[in-house]
Amino acid sequence: MKNSDRNLRFGWWSLLVYLSLGLTLETLHGFKIGWYLDVGNEIRRLMFTLGHAHGTALALVSIAAGLTARNVSGFELRPSVSFALIWAAILLPGGFFLGGIVTYGGDPGLGVWLVPVGALLLFYGVARFAIDLSKLK
Amino acid sequence: MPKLSRSWWHGFFVIAAIAGASALTLVSLRDFRREAQPPENRPIQSQVAGYVTSNACRACHAENYASWHGSFHRTMTQVATPGSLPDDTGRLELAFEGRQYKTERHGDKFFVRERPEGGSYGQPQQVVLVTGSHTLQVLWLEAGQGRTLKQFPFAYIVAEKMWAPVGETFLLPSDLKEYYSLGAWNGACMDCHVTQGQSRFVEGNKWDSQVAEFGIACEACHSEGREHVERNRNPIRRFKLHLTTKSDPTVTNPARLKGPDSALDCGQCHSVWAFNNMPDKIDFNRHGAAFRPGAHDLAQRFVVQPNAPDHAEQKDFIRRTEPDFFSNRFWGDGMIRVTGREFNGVQASPCFRSGEFSCLSCHEMHLDSPGQTSLQTWARTGQLKPKMDSDAACLQCHKDMSARLVAHTHHAADSSGSRCYNCHMPRTTFGLLHAMRSHQVSSPSAQESSAYGRPNACNLCHLDQTLAWTAQNLRAWYNQPAPELSQDDQTIAAAVQWILKGDAGQRALIAWGMGWASAQKIAGRDWLYPYLIYTMTDPYAAVRFDAWKSLQTLPGFSGFSFTYTATDRSLSEAAARAYEKWLREVRDENAVYRPETGLDSDGRFQQDVFQRLRSERDNKRIILAE
What would the pLDDT profile of A37-86 be if each residue is shown by its tens digit?
888 889 999 999 999 999 999 999 999 999 999 999 999 999 999 999 99
pLDDT reported for residue B35:
62
What are the φ/ψ torsions at residue B154 (nearest 5 degrees)?
Answer: -115, 145
pLDDT reported for residue B5:
73
Average pLDDT value over all residues in chain A: 94
* Chain B residue closest in CA terms to A44: B62
Which are the contacts of B3, defined by CB distance < 8 A and separation ≥ 6?
A: none
Measure the CA–CA gap between B263 and B15, rounded to whole angstroms.
66
From B60, B370, B371, residue closest to A106, measured CB to CB = B60
**Percent of chain B at pLDDT exceeding 90:** 88
- How far does A88 lie from chain B, in Å, by closest CA? 22
pLDDT reported for residue B162:
96
Measure the CA–CA gap between B105 and B80, rounded to whole angstroms.
11
**ipTM of model over 0.85:** no
Whether residue B370 and residue A34 make contact (CB cut-off 8 A), yes or no, is yes
| Chain A interface, best mutation among B54, B55, B60, by max A CB count within 10 A | B60
Q: Where are the domains of chain B?
A: 54-214, 456-615
Query: What would the pLDDT profile of B333-370 be if each residue is shown by its tens digit?
Result: 999 999 999 999 999 999 998 899 999 999 999 998 87
Res B496 pLDDT > 90: yes
Q: What is the CA radius of gyration of chain B?
A: 28
Smallest CA-to-CA distance from B602 within B585, B583, B586 is with B583
pLDDT reported for residue B31:
66
- How far does B62 lie from chain A, in Å, by closest CA? 5
Res B34 pLDDT > 80: no
Describe the crossing of helices B541-551 and B528-535 by its angle, rounded to 10 degrees: 150
How big is chain A, counted in residues?
137
Whether the Cβ atoms of residue B422 and residue B457 lie closer than 8 Å to each other? yes
Query: What would the pLDDT profile of B585-624 be if each residue is shown by its tens digit?
Result: 999 999 999 999 999 999 999 999 999 999 999 999 999 9
Query: What would the pLDDT profile of B515-536 be if each residue is shown by its tens digit?
Result: 999 999 999 999 999 999 999 9
> At B609, which helix (H) or strand (E)?
helix B607-615
| Chain A interface, best mutation among B242, B246, B251, B253, by max A CB count within 10 A | B242
pLDDT reported for residue B33:
66
Query: What would the pLDDT profile of B47-61 be if each residue is shown by its tens digit?
Result: 888 999 999 999 889
- For B20, other C-beta atoms within 10 Å of its C-beta total 10
Whether the Cβ atoms of residue B600 and residue B593 lie closer than 8 Å to each other? yes
Res B423 pLDDT > 60: yes
Cβ-Cβ contacts under 8 Å, B62 against chain A: 39-40, 42-43, 105-106
Which are the contacts of B374, defined by CB distance < 8 A and separation ≥ 6?
A: none
Whether residue B235 and residue A42 make contact (CB cut-off 8 A), yes or no, is no
Strand residue runs (E) in B158-299: 162-165, 194-198, 201-203, 206-207, 210-214, 273-275
Residue B430 β-bridge partners = B338, B435
Measure the CA–CA gap between B206 and A132, rounded to whole angstroms.
74
> Which amino acid is located at B119 in the chain?
G
Q: What average pLDDT does the segment B282-311 reach?
A: 97
Give B8 or B495, the one with higher predicted confidence: B495
Res A137 pLDDT > 80: no
Res B32 pLDDT > 70: no
Res B324 pLDDT > 70: yes
Per-residue pLDDT band for A115 (boundaries 50, 70, 90) equals very high
- How far does B59 lie from chain A, in Å, by closest CA? 6
Sign of the CA dihedral with B197 first, then B200, B201, and B206 last: negative
Task: Please tell me if residue B236 touches chain A, with a CB cutoff of 8 Å.
Answer: no
DSSP state of B399: G
pLDDT reported for residue B20:
83
Whether residue A39 and residue B63 make contact (CB cut-off 8 A), yes or no, is yes
Q: What average pLDDT does the segment B561-580 reach?
A: 96
Whether the Cβ atoms of residue B48 and residue B211 lie closer than 8 Å to each other? yes
> Which amino acid is located at B29 in the chain?
L
Q: What average pLDDT does the segment B175-194 reach?
A: 89
Give the number of A-B residue pairs with CB atoms closer than 8 Å. 34
Sign of the CA dihedral with B224 first, then B228, B231, and B233 last: negative
Res B371 pLDDT > 70: yes
Domain that holds residue A61: 3-135
pLDDT reported for residue B515:
98
Vertex B294, ends B220 and B250: CA angle to 5°?
A: 80
Exposure string of B521-556, with b = 16+ CB inside 10 Å and e = fewer, is ebbbbbbbbbbbbbbbbbebbbbbbbbbbbbebbee
Res B1 pLDDT > 60: no
Smallest CA-to-CA distance from B305 within B443, B440, B424 is with B440
What are the φ/ψ torsions at residue B577 (nearest 5 degrees)?
Answer: -65, -45
Per-residue pLDDT band for B171 (boundaries 50, 70, 90) equals very high
Question: In this predicted structure, which of B134-148, B176-190, B440-454 has the lowest mean pLDDT?
Answer: B176-190
Average pLDDT value over all residues in chain B: 94
**DSSP 3-state assignment of B551?**
helix
Smallest CA-to-CA distance from B341 within B440, B413, B455 is with B440
Whether residue A107 and residue B370 make contact (CB cut-off 8 A), yes or no, is no
> Which amino acid is located at B18 in the chain?
I
Whether residue B61 and residue A105 make contact (CB cut-off 8 A), yes or no, is yes
Per-residue pLDDT band for A32 (boundaries 50, 70, 90) equals confident
Kindly give the pairing relationship between strand B44-45 and strand B201-203: unpaired
Query: What would the pLDDT profile of B116-154 be if each residue is shown by its tens digit?
Result: 999 999 999 999 999 998 999 999 999 999 999 999 999
pLDDT reported for residue B177:
73
What's the first-to-final CA gap in chain A, in angstroms? 26
The reported pTM is 0.88
> Which amino acid is located at B456 in the chain?
N
pLDDT reported for residue B176:
85
DSSP string, B14-69: HHHHHHHHHHHHHHHHHHHHHHHSPPSSS-EE---TT---HHHHHTT-HHHHHHHH
**Percent of chain B at pLDDT exceeding 70:** 98
Whether residue A39 and residue B66 make contact (CB cut-off 8 A), yes or no, is yes
Which are the contacts of B556, defined by CB distance < 8 A and separation ≥ 6?
A: B581, B582, B585, B586
pLDDT reported for residue B97:
87
Measure the CA–CA gap between B541 and B538, rounded to whole angstroms.
7
From A34, A104, A106, residue closest to B62, measured CB to CB = A106
pLDDT reported for residue B144:
94
Query: What would the pLDDT profile of B231-275 be if each residue is shown by its tens digit?
Result: 999 989 999 999 998 899 999 999 999 999 999 999 999 999 999
Describe the crossing of helices A3-30 and A42-71 by its angle, rounded to 10 degrees: 150
CA dihedral B390, B392, B393, B397 (to 10 degrees): 150
Cβ-Cβ contacts under 8 Å, A104 against chain B: 238-239, 242
Res B300 pLDDT > 70: yes
Which are the contacts of B112, defined by CB distance < 8 A and separation ≥ 6?
A: B101, B102, B103, B104, B124, B125, B127, B141, B152
